[in-house]
Amino acid sequence: TNLFWAERLGNLVGLQDLWIKQCGNTHSGSFKDLGVTVLVSGVKEAISKGADVEAVICASTGDTSASVAAYCAAAGIPAAVILPKDKVSPAQLIQPISNGAITLAIDTDFDGCMAIVQKLSEDRRFYLANSMNSLRIEGQKTISIEIVQQFDWSVPDWVIVPGGNLGNTAAIGMGFLMMRDLGIIDRLPRLVCAQAANANPLYKSYLKGFEEYEPVVAKPTLANAIQIGNPVNVAKAMRVLKIFDGIVEQATEDELAHASALADTTGLFTCPHTGVALAAMMKLAEREIIRAGEKVVVISTASALKFVDF
């Protein structure tokens, strides 16, 4: 996916070396495709060897369900997705329906949907596709590898990623660690996980040095894909952030909307989750934690065409 030099936006916020990794330029329009293609390939191989898998299942705030439905349809494997009712965009809802997945909207939040699919996956006929599955994390590591390759095998100073279920935070860190262990790179970037203030359990834990962690009841946020109060990958994300001298920052609804709008006036077209990461970047730059000459990559997680209501 494209690594876009955000020259005009960088000049506006005082960062001359600002880049946007546009992970929404993929088949179903979000970074989820990177992990799901690996996972569905694994399921297809297992079925070919006699595994009794009748369907791939997932809970989703929209993007995972779209990706699972698309890749399962391509592989000829049934898919069932569970979404929180009235909490995903129409564009996100129509994707799994179009691909023929069994699509259930439940009157709960993402965490409630997650509890249901975890229970269902106790039956081995139903294969769980959420990011607690390590195959998803393996595919998402490629974000880090691509970034380094696109910078001619050099490492940026900062990578800023929106955080919901925290699989991407963990995967990006693990990708850089793998390259370091292989001798491809000799240093690590600083990693920033950006959370919506209305769904910020990791941010609250970060303020206490990760010594304490408690799930929260996530409140409504424009960044609906990261409206998650009990992320399944929290332990992996904490471990990675400690290694990377990482930071967790939050963005209010006003801050994320403002950051998205500002970015869009410079030629970008950003989803609200990217707005959370951009807002975190702007706050850290304002406090001079991120310095003017440093190379900064913001992970844009999905196509804004999925969020035209935003």
Q: What is the pLDDT of residue 267?
A: 96
Q: What is the pLDDT of residue 121?
A: 94
Q: How far apart are CA 18 and CA 265, in angstroms?
A: 16
Q: How far apart are CA 255 and CA 154, in angstroms?
A: 31
What is the DSSP track for 113-160? HHHHHHHHTTSTTEEE-STTSHHHHHHHTHHHHHHHHHTTS---SEEE
How big is the chain, counted in residues? 310
Q: Is the dihedral of CA 83, 25, 7, 174 positive or negative?
A: positive
Q: What is the pLDDT of residue 98?
A: 97
- pTM greater than the 0.75 cutoff: yes
Mean pLDDT by 10 residues, the chain (310 residues): 97 97 96 97 97 95 94 98 91 94 94 94 94 90 98 98 95 98 98 98 97 95 93 95 98 98 98 98 98 97 94
